[in-house]
Amino acid sequence: LMSGVKNNVGRGINTALVNGKTGELLDTKFFDMWGGDVAPLIEFLKTIQDGTIVLMATYDDGATKLNEEARKLIAELGSTSIANLGFRDNWVFCGGKGIKTKSPFEQ
């Protein structure tokens, strides 16, 4: 879903959305949290539909531009580590829109 071979990995937070019922890949995007803006990430997170599996991984720096709103939206997907994510921390996460508990797939 996310690899250099497919040219869909970039600096910041890399995301993949997967249909939770069919396993179909819905979308992949990356958001530059060093030189970019957090607004596109926030808008993207707000459009995720219930039942969607959300995969995220950082590359280089995924935290510098994160604000409280972005961190809250990611926490609502099941993340408990996003609140403490710092400059150039490595982070991988699998959660879902509509999840009622924390994700067991986060490091």
Q: Minimal CA–CA distance to 50: which of 18, 97, 102?
A: 97
Kindly state whether residue 106 falls inside one of the protein's structural domains: no
- 47 to each of 17, 35, 51, 79, how far by Cα in Å? 11, 23, 12, 18
Asked if 66 and 37 count as a contact pair (C-beta separation under 8 A), the reply is no
- Can you give the pTM of this predicted structure? 0.89
How many domains, in total, are found in the chain? 1
Kindly state whether residue 105 falls inside one of the protein's structural domains: no
Kindly state whether residue 43 falls inside one of the protein's structural domains: yes
Asked if 65 and 23 count as a contact pair (C-beta separation under 8 A), the reply is no
Task: State pLDDT tens for residues 35-53.
Answer: 999 999 999 999 999 999 9
Measure the CA–CA gap between 26 and 45, rounded to whole angstroms: 14
- Domain range enclosing 34: 4-97
Measure the CA–CA gap between 45 and 41, rounded to whole angstroms: 6
Q: Minimal CA–CA distance to 56: which of 34, 73, 37?
A: 73
Report the chain's mean pLDDT, rounded to a whole number. Answer: 91
